[in-house]
Amino acid sequence: MKVTEYFKEEGKTHISFEVLPPLKGGSMKAIFDTLDPLMEFKPPFVDVTYHREEYIYKKRPSGYYEKTAIRKRPGTVGICASIMHRYKIDAVPHLICGGFTKEDTENALIDLNFLGIQNVLALRGDARKFDGRFIAEDGGHEYAIDLVKQIDGMNKGNYLDTYIVDGSKTDFCIGVAGYPEKHFECPNFDLDLEYLKAKIDAGADYIVTQMFFDNEKYFQFVDKCRAIGIDVPIVPGLKPITKKGQLRSLPRLFYVNLPLPLIKELEKNKDDKEAFREVGIEWCIQQSKELKAKGAPCLHYYTMGDTKTIKKICSEVF
């Protein structure tokens, strides 16, 4: 079923989870161990992230370093198929521009379609670690909007090979990313919103937000989206802070602000791991309760493999 169909249920706040493929060499057990305990909350869908190749430097016997590109977390599509098979729910693969030519994308979409996957989260992807800025593949897409257009085109039966006439139409529901605190590369918040609107106008059906820790940021974001004519569901993304290092790493990696009262409360407990974790969990519970009370269509939890924490939060909220 399409993700947006679930959101049509009046007055209902759904719950969804996002999982990462295990590091290469890992097994599906890691995914099932994460998801099995969360199934009691009846998520209608689970997202599976996509990770492009990364550069690593290997030391050669001569002492020189060799730059090699490897994919550390492959398996997104296989994991989606396994999730659908085991839990009989929808799985939403993330599909990125980075590392894909348009033809790679077309072929990936054909695979997804044949597997019965009806939803895709269309993203640009980040720059590779040593590239400094996002570099599209030769013959690939520069921005997520171009990926949205390609998927929307296939939904209309348009393939890259123009000799294909009467091509079978896919029927993907397309999600895109939104940033309540602005995407870090964009020089201006309103401009970022215009680009977001362009993704919706190009055929995207819903938005999932970057994590945020101040609900006001989400509410203002939704208001601004509505004011410029973005009328699709906007799903808040949530991540509890549970470890001391995240006080610095989450802002650095995800370009998000932490509210001062949260920082102060966490700092007070920084020498007591369990108390620190409790503060982060309680904050996320309060965020979740307010978002639910104010009618968010779905709460999307970035699990990052921490089932225990996410389960505790969901038990309090749902």
User: Which region holds residue 94: left if phi is over 0, alpha if psi is between -120 and 50, else beta?
Assistant: beta
Q: How many residues make contact with ligand FAD (CB under 6 A)?
A: 21
181 binds ligand FAD (CB under 6 A): no
C-beta closer to ligand FAD: residue 62 or 188:
188
Q: Which residues are catalytic?
A: 18
Helix (H) or strand (E) holding 121: strand 119-123
Q: How far apart are the first and last CA of the chain?
A: 22
Q: Is 193 in the site for ligand FAD (CB under 6 A)?
A: no
Shorter beta-carbon distance to ligand FAD: residue 106 or 192 = 192
Cα 78 to Cα 82: distance, rounded to the nearest angstrom: 6
Binding to ligand FAD, residues 2-31 (CB under 6 A): none
The CA distance from 195 to 123, in Å, is 13
Site residues (CB under 6 A) for ligand FAD, limited to 104-123: 123
Report if residue 126 touches ligand FAD, rule: CB under 6 A: yes
Q: Write the binding mask 234 to 253 for ligand FAD: x where contact by CB under 6 A, - elsewhere.
A: ---x----------------
173 contributes a contact to ligand FAD by CB under 6 A: no
CB of 177 to ligand FAD, least distance (A): 3
Which of 2, 86, 183, 311 binds ligand FAD (CB under 6 A)? It is 183
d(CA 50, CA 97): 10
* Single residue of 79, 144, 151, 238 touching ligand FAD by CB under 6 A: 144
Which long-range contacts (C-beta less than 8 Å, at least 24 apart) are formed by 270-277?
270/244, 273/243, 273/244, 276/242, 276/243, 276/244, 277/242, 277/243, 277/309
Which residues are bridge partners to 182 per DSSP? none
Stretch that binds ligand FAD, among 33-41, 139-147, 166-174, 282-290 (CB under 6 A): 139-147
Tell me if 266 contacts ligand FAD by CB under 6 A: no
| Residue 225 binds ligand FAD, judged by CB under 6 A | no
Residue 145 CB, nearest approach to ligand FAD (Å): 5
CA dihedral (200, 171, 19, 193) in degrees, to 10, reads 0
Instruction: For the chain, state the CA radius of gyration.
Output: 20
Of 186, 247, 263, 304, the one binding ligand FAD (CB under 6 A) is 186
Contact flag: residue 197 with ligand FAD (CB under 6 A):
no
Angle at 213 between CA 316 and CA 307, to 5 degrees: 45
Rule CB under 6 A: choose which of 7, 50, 206, 218 binds ligand FAD.
Answer: 50
Cα–Cα distance, 91 to 74 (Å, whole number): 16
Q: Which of 189, 195, 219, 318 binds ligand FAD (CB under 6 A)?
A: 195
The whole-angstrom separation of Cα 128 and Cα 69 is 10
Find the binder of ligand FAD among 185, 190, 201, 216 (CB under 6 A). Answer: 185
208 binds ligand FAD (CB under 6 A): yes
> In the numeric block, which tokens belong to residue 292?
């639910």
Rounded distance, CA 285 to CA 291, Å?
A: 10
Which is nearer to ligand FAD, 236 or 279 (by Cβ)? 236
> Residues interacting with ligand FAD, by CB under 6 A?
49-50, 94, 96, 123-126, 143-145, 177, 183, 185-186, 192, 195, 199, 208, 210, 237
